[in-house]
Structure 1
Amino acid sequence: MSVTALPPRRGYRSPKRNGPPRRRSSRDVLKGLLKTLGPGLITGASDDDPSGIGTYSQAGAQFGFGIGWTMLLTYPLMVAIQEISARIGRVTGHGIAGNVCRNFPAPTVWFLIVLLFIANTINIAADLGAMADSLKLLIGGPQFLYVVLFGTVSVLSQVFVEYKRYVFLLKWLTLSLFAYVITLAVVHLPWLEAAKGLLIPRLSLDGPFLTTLVAVFGTTISPYLFIWQSSQEAENKRIERKREQVEADTASQASELRRIRVDTQIGMAFSNVIAIAIIMTTAATLHAGGVTEIQSSAQAAAALKPLAGDLAELLFAIGLIGTGLLAIPVLAGSTAYAIGEGRKWPVGLSRPPRKAVAFYAVLALSGTLGIIINFTALDPIRALYWSAVVNGVLAAPVMVMLMVLVRSRAVMGRFVVRGWLYWLGWVSTALMALCTLAMAVNFAM
């Protein structure tokens, strides 16, 4: 005899399917956040590399709290240009360099890529020198050995550590930047004066101020950051097979764009909070103590000791080493992505070295040259500050190309960028160009 199943009673709730939702543990929340945060967080954190720390330290030492407002100004500009870069990578499956080389004259593109290679390599050299100086400050020993050690570890980890694990390590390295927030907490800070410097813009047309302004912009809005985040989004698209064709599913595309926006906003906010902490720390200690010339971020750490105590020096130096370990792979990686995509080589940190030999060769070359520069007559520590200025000069034409690409249907299809994001991207581009022009006019006079 067969039995016919009766329909469920009205109001019946299956305890298995419709029961009360399980409360998410703090561990689940942390896992979800780490999954959402990726290229944007790493990009934002790597923005505060030893080069950036040196620039912010010099700005705070030279101009005190009066330069702090630049961090609030740059935040929305950073968010706009980095989100645009990330969208290009996710939608097209190619990084910025790959798209630029397909849509602009080759001589112009390669001139910019060569400048990027030079600027990034000098930046790597300066970062390695600053990290080595910081470790020597903490434990003593030979500075040259630390340069080789840090450079070798950074290059080999990119080549031989499995991609997902490597990205996971980079995410955790971002925590080292909290050393600067703690440093700010241990120094005496005149909060009212600091708040005025942060909220009330103070402008000057003299050469040192304009140079510092361009250096700050060049550190926060830098071509290697565009290239890295765009290339990482393209990389993730390649390795996540279920998301390979973004255009095929409107719902998943909307979800991806939301993830990119949240990731970018949090990453850039993290970057600027750390920058504000560095500027305020050096303004409250070095500037207030009459120390207005800082040649390196390591020197800033050493100068903090007599003014703010051993703990401030220790935290500042630890932060330098941690952020250097995070930033050097991003610098070398962005160079390799730019050249590799420009040459249409197989690129990507997720590829085994044997399947992307040229890509990894460029990455290793950039890191190796960074080590070698530390043993030449060129002072990489002084070059640290000026590499930020070079990046500021280089950024404007790259940003113009970005803005043309995101408006092109041939590149972005139905996902062209419109509205406030598009116009804010142009505002960012215009302000960067204006700062660079003002500096050039001042030097010519």
Structure 2
Amino acid sequence: MLQTSRSTPKPSSKMVQRLLGPGLVTGAADDDPSGIATYSQAGAQFGYDLLWTVFLTTPFMIAIQLVSARIGRVTGKGLAANVVELAPRWLVLALIFLLVAANTFNIAADIAAMGESLALVIGGLTHEHALIFASVSILLQVFVPYHRYAPVLKVLTLTLFAYVITALTVNIPWSTALLAAVWPRPTVGANYFLMVVAVLGTTISPYLFFWQASQEVEEMRRSPAHPPLREVAKGGKLELHRIRIDTTVGMIFSNAIAFFIILTTAAVLNANGVTNINSATQAAEALRPLAGNFTFLLFALGIIGTGLLAIPVLAGSAAYGVAEAFGWQATLEAKAPDAIGFYTIIAAATVIGFSLGFTGIDAIHMLVWSAVLNGIVAVPIMAMMMAIVSNKRLMGRFKARSWLVILGWLGTGLMAIAVIALFWSLFA
């Protein structure tokens, strides 16, 4: 046990720069092109009637991502490495396999959407554009060390403001929209209920858990003066405070963007009778004749920007999970020859995702399979996370407080209900 005291450290410029990091990037990555498609469908099909869902999911999203970040920072290990200590290895490997499969299908849908969006903006062939995006993503992750790549990811979060600006370019009846958000009048029916489930599944996704825990470990490794918190005799509150601010801001930012996407598509598409949207690019294309070229351009460029952010998170979270489960080196700071297994998973997930675009499988089917696999993975992983964060042996004096445990278990229960509903809808 180290005897270093950290009870009264003063905030430094370096700490200010780190204040918004893993939590912000994780939250922004949740609004990937596949998520944009889900939110666009919610707005187009049901207008303002599903705006309330972003308020429902926000506290649970904050809680479960706080748990994820806390596990990484306190233990100094990623989520998979901690889960191995509690669950049978065969179960962990099975869940990791499903995570990798779900992420790969998600990557496929995202890369395809990015290629289609760029083709809509500048012309050209969608597959060639998709190849460029996939290649750039792999090269950046493999050859750019984490301390240089992390700022790039932070900058990419700014592209999501395109959806805030988009909302400001269209005519929105704000009183009607805000009233629907705080006093919803749900349309009772299977389609409505399934869209609620889709929004829940899009907002709370397993890949976000693995990514944020591992990013906290990456941040910790950047400075020898920041050991795992459970190895520190005193203090640690400043780091937990940073995590709370970073995660809370990141998740609120994520759901605020979802709010504006639903708002825009409700005000333009639903209001003009366009209610069937199956992809983010279809939403962008539908906006052009109804809201003008500028609104279309912002929406389409937003798809590309958030895709550049989300693909590394999807591929990286899969690689962290596999590498930690097998005990391989798992860090974006390592050079390629020193972490071959880790970088192989990143490259393989991205390449296979890109290749799926040539199989004729449409993006909707890939998203359905991704949702099903995420559903299988999400609830047991969330339950294990809650067991870890409540475990005195693993967390030491940083065992989670009651409010976080209660909120985390409520979020786990909510996801369990959503998953049951998803399977019922698909197989009933």
CA distance in 2, matches of 1:163, 1:176: 21
1:407 maps onto 2:411 in alignment: no
> Max radius of gyration: which structure?
1
Aligned residue for 1:138?
121
Which stretch has the larger CA shift, 214-223 or 197-206? 197-206
CA RMSD in angstroms comes to: 1.8
The equivalent position to 2:96 in structure 1, one of 113, 123, 130, is: 113
CA distance in 1, matches of 2:68, 2:204: 12
Give 1:381 shift.
Answer: 4.8
- The code of the aligned residue for 2:386 comes to M
Contact 2:141 2:149 in 1 (8 A): yes
Contact 2:47 2:267 in 1 (8 A): yes
CA distance in 1, matches of 2:17, 2:292: 35
1:191-234 alpha-carbon deviations (Å, 9 max, x no partner): 11110221124445532222222211111110000000001112
Identity %: 51
1:7-60 alpha-carbon deviations (Å, 9 max, x no partner): xxxxxxxxxxxxxxxxxxxxx999865421110000000000001101100111
Contact 1:54 1:385 in 2 (8 A): no
CA distance in 1, matches of 2:124, 2:364: 19
1:254-311 alpha-carbon deviations (Å, 9 max, x no partner): 1110000000000001101100000000011111111111111011000001111111
Could you say if the C-alpha distance between residues 321 and 33 of structure 1 is closer, same or farther in structure 2, counting changes exceeding 3 Å?
Answer: farther
Unmatched 5+ residue regions in structure 1? 1-27
1:230 maps onto 2:201 in alignment: no
CA distance in 1, matches of 2:291, 2:47: 16
The equivalent position to 1:323 in structure 2, one of 306, 318, 325, is: 306
1:259 maps onto 2:228 in alignment: no
CA distance in 1, matches of 2:296, 2:326: 45
Contact 2:108 2:353 in 1 (8 A): yes
Aligned residue for 1:3?
none
Alignment of 1:175-214 (within 5 A): 175-203=158-186, 206-214=189-197
Alignment of 1:243-322 (within 5 A): 243-249=226-232, 252-322=235-305
Unmatched 5+ residue regions in structure 2? 1-10
Give 1:382 shift.
Answer: 4.4
CA distance in 2, matches of 1:143, 1:195: 38
Alignment of 1:82-97 (within 5 A): 82-97=65-80
The equivalent position to 1:340 in structure 2, one of 323, 342, 348, is: 323
Contact 1:214 1:389 in 2 (8 A): no
Which stretch has the larger CA shift, 30-39 or 83-92? 30-39
CA distance in 2, matches of 1:31, 1:314: 36
Aligned residue for 2:225?
242
Give 1:434 shift.
Answer: 1.2
Aligned length: 418
- The code of the aligned residue for 1:110 comes to L
Give 1:414 shift.
Answer: 1.8
TM-score (norm 2): 0.94
1:294-329 alpha-carbon deviations (Å, 9 max, x no partner): 111011000001111111100000100000000000
1:81 maps onto 2:36 in alignment: no
Give 1:442 shift.
Answer: 4.2
